[in-house]
Amino acid sequence: MTLEQNDTQRIKIFNALADEKRIAIIRLLYYGNNRPMCTDIGRSLGVSKSNGSYHLKILSEAELVKIDREGVIKYVSLNEETFTRYLPGFLATL
């Protein structure tokens, strides 16, 4: 049995969501500011800068969040297309 491209993406998504800090980040983005800075997310969750970056990297690799750079500042937003395609209705359960 071989994995299809969509299966590989699903594995990344479910692995990314299998951590309470990352669920908290998704919830923060869904209910909070549309584009907080990466440092604001770490501060809100009470984690170090490196720990926050680690969690955001995993969410970004799973295409659950978008990270946009403007100069030296990075902003984070939900990638709602991924949620619509792979997890319809998930955000409403947060």
Query: At 38, which CATH number?
Result: 1.10.10.10
Beta-sheet pairing, 73-78 with 65-70: antiparallel
Residue 61: its pLDDT value, please?
A: 97
Predicted confidence (pLDDT) at residue 34 exceeds the cutoff of 80: no
Q: Can you tell me the distance from the alpha carbon of 43 to that of 33, in angstroms, rounded to the nearest whole number?
A: 14
Predicted confidence (pLDDT) at residue 49 exceeds the cutoff of 90: no
What's the pTM value of the predicted model, to 2 decimals?
0.89
Predicted confidence (pLDDT) at residue 70 exceeds the cutoff of 70: yes
Q: How confident is the model at residue 3 (pLDDT cuts 50, 70, 90)?
A: low
Number of structural domains found in the chain: 1
Residue corresponding to tokens 């990466």: 38
CB 30 within 8 A of CB 91: yes
Q: Can you tell me the distance from the alpha carbon of 49 to that of 9, in angstroms, rounded to the nearest whole number?
A: 27
CB 75 within 8 A of CB 35: yes
Q: Which domain holds residue 42?
A: 5-93
